[in-house]
Amino acid sequence: MKVTNIADGIYQLSINVENILFEGFWEIPNGVSLNSYIIKGLKTAIIDGVCGWDGVPDTLFGLIEQLDIAPESIEYLIVNHMEPDHSGWIEAFKKINPDCKIVCSKKAKDLLNSFFGITENIIVVGENDTLDLGNGHLLNFVEIPNVHWPDTIAELDTLTGTLFTCDAFGSFGKITSSVYADMLSEEDLALHEKETTRYYSNVLAYFSMQVKKAVAKCQALPVKMIAPGHGLIYRNPKEIMDAYLKYADYQKGPAREEITLIWGSMYGMTENAVNYVIKQLQKEDILVHVHQVPKESWGTVLASAWTSTGIILAMPTYEFKMYPPMASVLEELGKKKVNGRKAFRFGSYGWSGGAQKELDEIMTRLNMGWEFIEPVEFTGNPGAKDLERVGEQVKKLVEEVKNAVRG
């Protein structure tokens, strides 16, 4: 729980949340921060909330008290986005400050009613609307729909050039040493980058087209600092804007010069070939992520697949179809639009194949557009010749990935 004065009259209130599943199912091994902001002009506004994950707003009220602000004196509550990680405290807040005006988009207004039955004291804002808090703090609103929900808005404090973006430009990971990205050590920065791609792939990937539009809109504003609802503050806005554009481009592939190997095995026969492939890939000059399903969570596999141009799938046939945990993960990758990858599949079968048929069906139905090189299947344990064939195909894939990325 932390309060930081980030600009003239602007304070960040932030808490770290751990040991939860984000949105109820995304594993976040390094936690996530929830950031709220207070702007003190002649009038005081609070932007978004930082409720505890159980919806209890004590944490937020504790942070406000540190600023010597009585919650009941806050005139405006700006709701950038109604997902309950930001809005879950509103009902409790309205109980102690019923006169506070809620500033939000038209779509958020509807959600205020359906979530909390709040229908009054709402100011609906849209593109280019303004709110004057006094002392120079004039807020200029922009609509950034679907980053993350259709209701999402952002606002620029024209006095300080601070852009409050809620989910946009956010990241997973706890805030530890500093609230500013530019203050991190090289090691912390590398972890932060990883957590940003995990966040992007898990939360925003599906909306990559809208992300690009939102970034273009933000690029046109005189932004000096980006203050998101999750993660670190950027005093070099170009850095995170460029990064987000890159992440959005990964949707259609090619992405980075990386390969994600996703594998599953029932009795170790496919695994024997996987071990051979891992050793082979270690000799190649390429970054490789290895994930076993169903042991690894969807979110972890997705984060790697999002940045990888190449995907290797290794799984046996199961009851004339694909090994079920692999099918589940592929469905999720398809729904998040991990498209246009270079790919290779191998695996064992007992009395009959069938994995390929299901793989083709998933690829077609979800319009994933992966380009597969010829698969390798073997009965039971892979023999020396099978391993040799698998190895040749892996080599081919590595070349294809390099060619795709380097152009």
* Closer to ligand FEO by Cβ: residue 203 or 330: 203
* Closer to ligand FEO by Cβ: residue 20 or 278: 20
Residue nearest to ligand FEO (CB): 83
Torsion of CA 142, 145, 148, 153, to 10 degrees: 20
Spatial distance between the Cα atoms of 24 and 42, rounded to a whole number of angstroms: 40
* Closer to ligand FEO by Cβ: residue 83 or 271: 83
* Closer to ligand FEO by Cβ: residue 23 or 399: 23
Q: Report residue 236 as tokens.
A: 């070099």
Minimum distance of ligand FEO from residue 83's CB (angstroms): 3
- Cis ω before 316 (30° cut-off from 0): no
Minimum distance of ligand FEO from residue 165's CB (angstroms): 11
Task: Identify the CA nearest to 181 among candidates 249, 137, 241, 139.
Answer: 241
* Closer to ligand FEO by Cβ: residue 81 or 198: 81
Strands (E), 264-341: 287-292, 308-314, 317-318, 321-322
Minimum distance of ligand FEO from residue 258's CB (angstroms): 27
Torsion of CA 105, 233, 26, 316, to 10 degrees: 120
Give the strand pairing for 32-40 and 162-166: unpaired
CA 399 to chain centre: 29
* Closer to ligand FEO by Cβ: residue 167 or 377: 167
Minimum distance of ligand FEO from residue 103's CB (angstroms): 18
Minimum distance of ligand FEO from residue 23's CB (angstroms): 8
Name the residue with tokens 């190649």.
284
Spatial distance between the Cα atoms of 265 and 245, rounded to a whole number of angstroms: 37
* Binding site residues, ligand FEO, CB under 6 A: 81, 83, 85-86, 148, 167, 229-230
Ramachandran angles phi, psi of 297, nearest 5° = -75, 155
Minimum distance of ligand FEO from residue 127's CB (angstroms): 20
Minimum distance of ligand FEO from residue 169's CB (angstroms): 12
Task: Identify the CA nearest to 131 among candidates 216, 46, 237.
Answer: 46
* Closer to ligand FEO by Cβ: residue 218 or 281: 218
Minimum distance of ligand FEO from residue 142's CB (angstroms): 17
DSSP string, 151-206: T-EEEEETTTTEEEEETTT---B---S-SBGGG--HHHHHHHHHHHHHHIIIIIGG
* Closer to ligand FEO by Cβ: residue 86 or 109: 86
Minimum distance of ligand FEO from residue 249's CB (angstroms): 22
Spatial distance between the Cα atoms of 398 and 192, rounded to a whole number of angstroms: 27
* Closer to ligand FEO by Cβ: residue 238 or 335: 335
Task: Identify the CA nearest to 88 among candidates 114, 118, 56.
Answer: 56
